[in-house]
Amino acid sequence: MANFGGPTLLKRTLGLQDDRYSQYIGPTTDFEPSLINLSPFDPQDESLLARGTLRKVSDDDTFLMLPDYATPGYEHQLEDVEAIERLVAPNGRKLIDLYFQVVHPSFPIIQRNVFYEQYERDYREFSPALLAAVYILAINWWDQSEELSNLPRPDVKEIERIMRSALTGASWRPKLSTVQAGLLLSQKPEGDQWAPTAQLVATAQELGLHLDCTHWKIPPWEKGLRKRLAWALYMQDKWGALVHGRPSHIFTTNWVVQPLTPNDFPELECDENDTEEKLEIERGRTLFTQMVYLSQVLSEILDTFYTLQAMQNVANAGPQGTHLVLSLAKPIQLKLKEWYAAIPANIRMDSSFQTNNVSSTRLSSIGYLHLAYFATEITLHRRIIRSLAADSQAVDAYVQHICRSAAKARLISAMDFVNRLTHQHLRAFWFFASKTNFALIGTFGSLLWATSPGREEADWYRRRLGEYRWTLSVSSKPGERKGLAEFAMGMLDISTGLLKKLPEKPELSRSGSTAEMDLGRRHSLLSMGLGGGPMEFQSMGSADVSGGQSPESYDSSEEMYDNFAPTGGIASRS
């Protein structure tokens, strides 16, 4: 493909050649970097050796280029791609258009113009796994296409069977298309598994996706594609670590991919005269970029609180464990608060369907970003609530009240968000972690119910979880992404079922003692080294943990927690 005679965007590509694959040569392999530099390179930055062809992309980075034909299963590629195309014929192009209309804007891991160039020239150029992945995802919106809805659906199970076999074969000759196919397969309903994520990370490292390709000698479009693909893999790893409760595979010490910029996205992906489509592409890019940053904050939370070492550090702190958790939570919470306050206007929930003041009928994937935000907040607050519950005597009543009030505000805001989702959100593309993120809201509510100090507060959480289940049941009506809500309902039923075995909670006074609260807050500030002058706090009334307030009614509680920020300001506007 590097020597293709006609005009093609694939000339000089590193990771998408038709007949060769690349292997990154790391600093500790049997190839000595100093000796590589002695090798004679031609004007194409290649040097032929007995073991393969060296391809130098920068002063420090070199790849070994090897032929596809020498790998297991190569001879089946052509028959696989033809079998896949037959299964969707004559609607292959319609499905591709549907994919780029629904999935691609908010998950841009494919170079659209290159993909269409290949398909129009000859679909046999495609990796069978990637072509199948695009078709499988697009078929999820089959009924929403006027051209396809009245036609019989293709055999998805057979397409997936061929795809999985092809993906296994592609691991012997990895290309960017291999990672693309694996990521897309993970986005399908019930498609996410943890073990394949590890394989994808390993494949990406073979391809050098963990490196900084800014100054490599490759086409500019491939640089942008590599960065988008690398960050999509980063998100898959971090959110996979969260939803599966497993250690992440990607570490900052071996990750030098640069932040995404507007130049990393293709300039022309839509009709310049179609204002609505142009705005949708821009919204999708903003959404993807913001999700990358949010995933980095999630990674910090997982590293700070949920690694084996981090959990041991808190345990070793003994009675000071909760204070340690609160102090570590403070800077992360500030990042989340600042991020949420600065969300660009075009991806806010209240402005997603407006185009020149006219309501849009397009599907919108911004829901998965906002849901991910609440899941990130919940992941932070879960650790705080667990720590409080583990040793309730280590922290005074005032600090516990503030922490639980802030956690309650997060829960109410998250439930309110789910309640405000429309069919334009629910029918759109959702990031793979979303079904678990919906479930985490119920899990968090169950945790707050289980750790409630009194019967009245526990009953309040029980009622709210019942309301949340009803909201989920409404969201699972036909024609919408029912797998998202059904999974969350199932997990909610499990957790609330376990809660029935809790001992009866005692009855507590709703008002409490103001004098005791004053003493508690003063003691907490002094014990944490924050004394030295009186602090004025507003009335606790609006944060009454037995009430049913809307998120807006928590302003005074939030401000008090901000004042308490030196040890754990864990509240932010939602």
- pLDDT per position as a tens digit, 117-139: 999 999 999 999 999 999 999 99
DSSP states of 4-41: -SS--TTTT-SS--SSEEEEE--TTSSS-HHHHTTS--
Number of other CB atoms surrounding residue 220 within 10 Å: 9
**What is the residue type of 22?**
S
Q: How far apart are CA 378 and CA 570, in angstroms?
A: 11
**CA dihedral sign of residues 489, 491, 497, 502:** negative
Query: Can you give the pLDDT at residue 503?
Result: 83
- Average pLDDT (6-19) is 77
Top-confidence residue, 203 or 568: 203
Least confident of 91-95, 419-423, 528-532: 528-532
Alpha-carbon distance values, 116 to 55, 92, 119, 183 (Å): 27, 12, 5, 20
Where residue 351 falls among pLDDT bands split at 50, 70, 90?
A: low
- Average pLDDT taken over every residue of the chain: 85
Which residue reads 């989340």 in tokens? 336
Q: How far apart are CA 194 and CA 73, in angstroms?
A: 25
Flag whether pLDDT at 146 surpasses 70.
yes
CB 240 within 8 A of CB 433: yes
Flag whether pLDDT at 541 surpasses 50.
no
Q: How many CA atoms lie within 13 A of 443 on its CB side?
A: 19
User: Can you tell me whether residue 46 is helix, strand or coil?
Assistant: strand
Percent of the chain predicted with pLDDT > 70:
82
Where residue 252 falls among pLDDT bands split at 50, 70, 90?
A: very high
User: Can you tell me whether residue 145 is helix, strand or coil?
Assistant: coil
Q: What is the DSSP secondary structure assignment for residue 302, as one 8-state letter?
A: I
Top-confidence residue, 305 or 554: 305
Query: Can you give the pLDDT at residue 517?
Result: 44
Q: In what order do the strands lie in the sheet with 53-56?
A: 20-24, 62-67, 53-56, 46-48
**What is the residue type of 304?**
T
Where residue 142 falls among pLDDT bands split at 50, 70, 90?
A: very high
Top-confidence residue, 481 or 112: 112
Nearest residue to 11 via CA among 20, 21, 1: 1
Q: Report the DSSP beta bridge partners of residue 54.
A: 47, 64
Flag whether pLDDT at 534 surpasses 70.
no
State the maximum Cα–Cα separation within the chain, in Å, rounded to a whole number: 85
Where residue 509 falls among pLDDT bands split at 50, 70, 90?
A: low
User: Can you tell me whether residue 238 is helix, strand or coil?
Assistant: helix
Q: How far apart are CA 197 and CA 203, in angstroms?
A: 10
Query: Can you give the pLDDT at residue 361?
Result: 73
Three-class HEC string of 303-361: HHHHCHHHHHHHHHCHHHHHHHHHHHHHHHHHHHHHHHHCCCHHHCHHHCCEECCEECC
For the chain, the domains span: 74-264, 307-568
Top-confidence residue, 216 or 484: 216
Alpha-carbon distance values, 109 to 196, 216, 246, 288 (Å): 18, 20, 25, 10
Q: How far apart are CA 370 and CA 377, in angstroms?
A: 11
Query: Can you give the pLDDT at residue 269?
Result: 65
Flag whether pLDDT at 519 surpasses 80.
no
Query: Can you give the pLDDT at residue 448?
Result: 97
Q: What pTM did the predictor assign? A: 0.88
- Average pLDDT (258-278) is 81
**What is the residue type of 171?**
S
Q: How far apart are CA 23 and CA 30, in angstroms?
A: 13
pLDDT winner (highest mean) among 286-295, 360-369, 452-461: 286-295
Where residue 530 falls among pLDDT bands split at 50, 70, 90?
A: very low
Alpha-carbon distance values, 459 to 167, 350, 445, 505 (Å): 50, 32, 11, 10
- Average pLDDT (330-337) is 96
Query: Can you give the pLDDT at residue 8?
Result: 62
Which residue reads 């959404």 in tokens? 287
pLDDT winner (highest mean) among 418-422, 530-534, 565-569: 418-422
pLDDT of 445-473, one tens digit each? Answer: 999 999 999 999 999 999 999 999 999 98
Number of other CB atoms surrounding residue 499 within 10 Å: 17
- Average pLDDT (483-495) is 88
Q: How far apart are CA 191 and CA 353, in angstroms?
A: 29
- Average pLDDT (312-331) is 94
Q: What is the DSSP secondary structure assignment for residue 45, as one 8-state letter?
A: S
- Average pLDDT (468-493) is 79
Q: How far apart are CA 225 and CA 110, in angstroms?
A: 7
Q: Across the chain, how many H-helices and E-strands are there?
A: 21, 6
Residues 6 or more apart whose Cβ sits within 8 Å of residue 216? 14, 57, 58, 61, 223
The answer to whether the bond into 503 is cis (omega within 30° of 0) is: no
Query: Can you give the pLDDT at residue 452?
Result: 94
